[in-house]
Amino acid sequence: MTAVLHPDTLAVHAGRSDLESLGVHALPIDLSTTNPLPDIERGGDSYEAMATGGRPPADGSMVYARLWNPTVARFEEALAELEHAEASVAFASGMAAMTAVILAHGPATGKHHVVAVRPLYGGTDHLLGSGLLGIETTYCHPEQVASSIRSDTGLVVVETPANPTLDIADIAAVVAQAGGVPVVVDNTFATPVLQNPIDLGAAMSLHSATKYLGGHGDVIAGVVACSEQTAEALRRVRAVTGGLLHPLGAYLLHRGLTTLPVRMRAQQESARRIVQWLIDRPEVAEVFYPGLDGDPRGILERQMRGTGAMIAMRMRGGYAAASAVTSATELFTHAVSLGGVDSLIQHPAALTHRPVPPEARPAADVLRLSIGLENADDLIADLARAFAAAPALERELREAR
């Protein structure tokens, strides 16, 4: 794209520059696992170029789908444009994407230390502390990043808004504290519609594309927006480890991007209405949502264009009440994941954050809501019914014990 386009327009048109030359209007899906080679020399050169993180040579071949696929490449181009990045690299899942980022900036560079700002998605937190990737992790708060950096630190990991309590970290401040250490921001909750970490100095913006980018709960994927140099390192890890995104998944994600801005705005508007209702409910001890404190540090104004569609809340009555509410909703599906067109409710401590050490795990009375595209009044009524049913369900749980 040569003109500067509004994000709404970009979401529809990005990554489609070659469609006219192909003579098609809708996105094509290339399912080829292998590709013809022009000759041995050019085939070999193509293989080497892509296996080491490069792109297919103009006079060569794509060789093999583990190295390159045009359907995946179109989605990567589109996401890079939305994230104001030079490139992006797609993976089979968000965890595959995070694993590649850690490997590319840790052991592959001789660095074996990572600084991680908590809270984080439970899977990321667990991966960083598992020892599986040959790294040591120092967990800290945003203001402790500088003091946590060591000579062998290869990466700083931060998620904002954070999963599940929507904590907001100042990306530019974290980058400044990191010095020359690359910062990866998990941008899953905000999406490129509301936040662009690379504009704030981050080296990478990572997404569990399973969530808002796909938007319909029918594809698992991850993607990292970054510089072309970083993309080469990530593509090399992807080629060697095989964490590639299937072309059908890439097609669904690329199609999902076209409605991302309108979905995000509609879901956010409903979330704001539900938050205002929850604040006054006696059953709710605390609501977690960006901006409820009035943004005294001005972070939201500086780095975000909205507050998103995720909500967390602490229930009065502890775990028993939280458990009862998840069992009583009808429109809110009791399920993990988020960012789809239908609303979800889940208990982070028991599910997504179960592997996190107790001292960093969300409280047992915390529930997380992902607001979908249903009517906000219907969602509020569903929660009201669940709240009303909670005492009876709590008694049933006690009697069952």
Is residue 100 in some structural domain?
Answer: yes
Q: Which of 358, 278, 356 is nearest to 310 (CA)?
A: 278
Is residue 41 in some structural domain?
Answer: no
Strand segments (E) across 254-343: 284-288, 310-315, 333-334
Residue tagged active-site, from 16, 55, 118, 211:
211
- Based on the fold, state whether residues 231 and 370 are members of the same structural domain: no
Do residues 35 and 62 touch, judged by C-beta distance below 8 A? yes
State the DSSP code for 199. Answer: G
CATH code, 125: 3.40.640.10
From residue 160, alpha-carbon distances to 197, 279, 310 in Å are 10, 22, 12
Total domain count, the chain: 2
Torsion of CA 297, 357, 104, 248, to 10 degrees: -90
- For CA atoms 361, 184, 98, 371, the dihedral sign is positive
Q: What pLDDT, on a 0 to 100 scale, did the predictor assign at position 401?
A: 57
State what percent of residues in the chain have pLDDT above 90: 91
- 257, 290, 321 — which closes off a domain? 257
- Based on the fold, state whether residues 157 and 305 are members of the same structural domain: no
**pLDDT single digits (tens) 179-203:** 999 999 999 999 999 999 999 999 9
From residue 17, alpha-carbon distances to 59, 84, 245 in Å are 20, 17, 21
The per-residue DSSP string of 336-371 comes to S---SSS-EEE-GGGTTTTTS-GGGSPPTTEEEEE-
Query: Within a 10 A sphere around the Cβ of 2, how many other Cβ atoms?
Result: 4
Q: What are phi and psi of 285, to 5 degrees?
A: -80, -35
- Based on the fold, state whether residues 249 and 269 are members of the same structural domain: no
Looking only at the bridges linking them, the beta strands covering 153-159 and 136-140 are unpaired
Confidence of residue 1 (pLDDT cuts 50, 70, 90): very low
Please tell me the distance from the alpha carbon of residue 296 to that of residue 200, in angstroms, as a whole number: 19
Please tell me the distance from the alpha carbon of residue 321 to that of residue 183, in angstroms, as a whole number: 39
The per-residue DSSP string of 104-130 comes to HHTGGGT--EEEEESS--HHHHHHHHH
Whether 265 is catalytic: no
- Based on the fold, state whether residues 93 and 156 are members of the same structural domain: yes
- Based on the fold, state whether residues 95 and 226 are members of the same structural domain: yes
- Based on the fold, state whether residues 102 and 207 are members of the same structural domain: yes
Residue tagged active-site, from 125, 167, 186, 365:
186
CATH code, 361: 3.90.1150.10
Residue tagged active-site, from 16, 111, 118, 121:
121
Q: Which domain holds residue 371?
A: 261-400
**pLDDT single digits (tens) 121-144:** 999 999 999 999 999 999 999 999
Whether 121 is catalytic: yes
**pLDDT single digits (tens) 91-109:** 999 999 999 999 999 988 9
- Based on the fold, state whether residues 86 and 129 are members of the same structural domain: yes
Do residues 238 and 244 touch, judged by C-beta distance below 8 A? yes
Residue tagged active-site, from 42, 66, 281, 385:
66
- Based on the fold, state whether residues 279 and 230 are members of the same structural domain: no
Q: What is the mean pLDDT of residues 309-318?
A: 96
Q: What pLDDT, on a 0 to 100 scale, did the predictor assign at position 360?
A: 80
Is residue 198 in some structural domain?
Answer: yes
- 231, 257, 283 — which closes off a domain? 257
Whether 186 is catalytic: yes
- 210, 232, 257 — which closes off a domain? 257
Residue 359: exposure state from Cβ atoms within 10 A (0-12, 13-18, ≥19): exposed
- Based on the fold, state whether residues 212 and 352 are members of the same structural domain: no
Q: What are phi and psi of 15, to 5 degrees?
A: 75, 15
- Based on the fold, state whether residues 173 and 271 are members of the same structural domain: no
Q: What pLDDT, on a 0 to 100 scale, did the predictor assign at position 399?
A: 57
